[in-house]
Amino acid sequence: MNEVKRAIDSGMREIKFTKAMQQRVLEKGRYRKSRKNNRYISVKRMVPAAVCFILCLGIIAAGKVKLWDKYVAQQYNLADNEPVQEKTIADGLAAPVLAAAKDNGITVQVLQSVASGSHLQIYLKIQAENEEIADGLVDVNPDFEISYDRCQEFSGGGSMENYYTGEGMKTAFVEERDGQEGPDYEIYSIYSTVGNGELEGDTVHLKIHNFVGNSQTSPDKVVEGDWELSFKVSADTTEKAYVFDKEYSIYGKTLKLHEIKITPTGISISIDKASADGQGLMDGQVYLVSHAGEDFLTNYESAEWRGDWGVPLAVAKAWTPQEKEAAYEQIENGTYQGEYIDFWEWTKDKTHQIVGPWDNIQIKLDDGTQFRPANSSGLISETDDCYVINENYIGYLEMNQVREVQIGDCIIPLSEGAEK
């Protein structure tokens, strides 16, 4: 027996898979089997059957019919704040949507939409008809497209994230409540940012084509199906805008800030193009990596590919094609110049931290607290004169309480700007 096995077995000798656990497995297995649907529906159909989907035109529930969906309200820190929930529904920020589509035993329902400024977030409830299908949905994400009748979709399909509901959905769709099992659901959300046009009143079309496996762990997995949903967007059109036209220093680079706009769920920062060009800061692919206190500018696109991560940008740019290939080969093998490099770990460990200037925007409130909810999406669009950094937050922002905005290492008091 090797040392590891000995250490684990002796060190954890009291940790045993007991008879009681065995019994629970058997009982639960019997129970699941008893409620198994006799009509087995293959999740991954060998021959695609005729696609059968229900297309529903969503209807925005009128007025103060109900408060936010409980789960979504929690995400926005509004679960216990009914007055604000009511206000946001009246303002058009949050809207329950009655749109659902079903295919291949899976129902996709729009639970709620949240829209303000140029940002729309759609919360989807994904529910499987039976356990076989639910099992197939573990470790998959929807492959989707989003479009509008009037607005131009800017974020290229947005991003989708799967949320843990905290209600027992640990590994599958089935949860157990007080000994009673029933099909559970997963909640996904989609961000979308529009490049032009007004979201309010526009019709959004969401097409989901297949649930595809996690690219790292289940790359070949596909749960087939087509789900199409359309609904009219209800958006909160209130915003606060401040004009600055002043120079600020961000990570040692000087640029001219034109304007900051704040909405209940997002912020847009306009930077003068002429002041920013040539400094690398406005290149959305250029990120800053802090490694044990020493900063490196690095190329995001390559990083995603496990390329230049952590390699000083100046060095990477000076590589010949052969040098680049050799460096990539080293990195793919796990090290660069003797140092271990791995994209995912670099984003997490204590010595390597991504601090892209546009990924590090914080909103400071009057009470001294900082507003930077758990999730944000940063996108850079442009007008003729400005680059516009759009950050969309999951969380509700009281616009009147905002005092400062921090971009990277630069703190900008709103009092230095003129409110429009």
Partner 1 sequence: MEQNTEQDMEKRLTVLMNEYGDSVLRMCCIYLRDYQLAEDMAQETFLRVYQHYGDFNNRSSLKTWILQIAINLCRNQMRTRWWKNRSRTEIGEIRTDEYEDSFLEREMILEEIGKLPPKYKEVILLYYYQELTITEIAEVIGEKESAVKARLVRARNKLKPELKEVLCYE
From the DSSP assignment, how many helices (H) and strands (E) are in the chain? 10, 27
Candidate segments 164-172, 224-232, 316-324, 385-393, binder of partner 1 by CB under 8 A: 164-172
Q: In DSSP terms, which residues pair with 246 in a beta bridge?
A: 257
Least gap, CB of 273 to partner 1 (angstroms): 36
Tokens at 401, concatenated = 């309480």
Closer by beta carbon to partner 1, 340 or else 416: 340
The reply on whether position 38 binds partner 1 by CB under 8 A is: no
189 vs 275 by CB, closer to partner 1: 189
Is there binding between residue 138 and partner 1 (CB under 8 A)? yes
CB of 343 to partner 1, least distance (A): 12
Q: What are the residue ranges of helices labelled H in 12-113?
A: 19-34, 70-75, 82-91
Is residue 139 part of the contact set for partner 1 (CB under 8 A)? yes
Q: Residue 227 phi/psi, 5° resolution?
A: -130, 125
Q: How far is the CB of 217 from partner 1 (least distance, A)?
A: 6
Residue choice 35, 44, 45, 170 for contact with partner 1 (CB under 8 A): 170
Taking the complex as a whole, the smallest distance from the CB of residue 291 to partner 1 amounts, in Å, to: 17
Q: Which residues, other chains included, contact 250 with Cβ-Cβ below 8 Å and sequence gap of 6+?
A: 281, 357, 407, 408, 409, 410
Q: Taking a C-beta distance cutoff of 8 angstroms, is the pair 328, 236 a contact?
A: no
Contact between 339 and partner 1 by CB under 8 A: the answer reads no
φ, ψ of residue 138 to 5 degrees: the values are -70, 135
Which span sits near partner 1 by CB under 8 A: 49-57, 161-169, 226-234, 246-254? 161-169
Q: Give burial (CB, 10 Å; 0-12/13-18/19+) of 6.
A: exposed
As measured in angstroms, the least distance from the Cβ of 220 to partner 1 is 9
Judged by CB under 8 A, the stretch of 92-100, 107-115, 132-140, 354-362 that binds partner 1 is 132-140
Say if residue 346 is exposed, middle or buried (CB neighbours under 10 Å; 0-12, 13-18, 19+).
buried
161 binds partner 1 (CB under 8 A): yes
Could you say which of 333, 338, 368, 400 contacts partner 1 (CB under 8 A)?
333
Asked if 250 and 389 touch (Cβ cutoff 8 Å), the reply is no
The rounded distance, in Å, linking the Cα atoms of 242 and 302 is 36
CA-to-CA separations, 82 to 11, 87, 395, in angstroms, rounded = 51, 8, 15
Q: What are the percentages of helix, strand and coil residues in the chain, rounded to 5?
A: 20, 40, 40
- For the record, the structure tokens of 39 come out as 């009509």
Q: Are strands 203-213 and 286-291 parallel, antiparallel or unpaired?
A: unpaired
359 binds partner 1 (CB under 8 A): no
Q: How far is the CB of 317 from partner 1 (least distance, A)?
A: 29
Residue 2 binds to partner 1 (criterion: CB under 8 A) = yes
Binding residues for partner 1, total number by CB under 8 A: 40
Candidates 94-102, 299-307, 333-341, 381-389; binding stretch for partner 1 (CB under 8 A): 333-341
* Nearest Cα to Cα of residue 95 among 142, 140, 131, 63: 63
Q: Which of residues 204-223 bind partner 1 (CB under 8 A)?
A: 214, 217
CA atoms within 13 A on the CB side of 100: 12
* Binds partner 1 (CB under 8 A): choice among 334, 370, 383, 415: 334
In this structure, are residues 214 and 249 in contact, taking their beta carbons and an 8 Å threshold?
no
- Smaller CB separation from partner 1, 342 or 404: 342
Other residues' Cβ atoms within 10 Å of the Cβ of residue 411: 12
- Sole window of 3-11, 45-53, 293-301, 357-365 interacting with partner 1 (rule: CB under 8 A): 3-11
CB of 94 to partner 1, least distance (A): 20
**Contact (Cβ atoms closer than 8 angstroms) between residue 133 and residue 41:** yes
Binding map of partner 1 across residues 6-35, x = CB under 8 A, - = no contact: -xxx-xx-xxxx---xx-xxx-xxx-xx--
**Residue numbers at the binding site for partner 1 (CB under 8 A):** 2-5, 7-9, 11-12, 14-17, 21-22, 24-26, 28-30, 32-33, 135, 138-139, 161-164, 166, 170-171, 214, 217, 333-334, 340, 345, 374
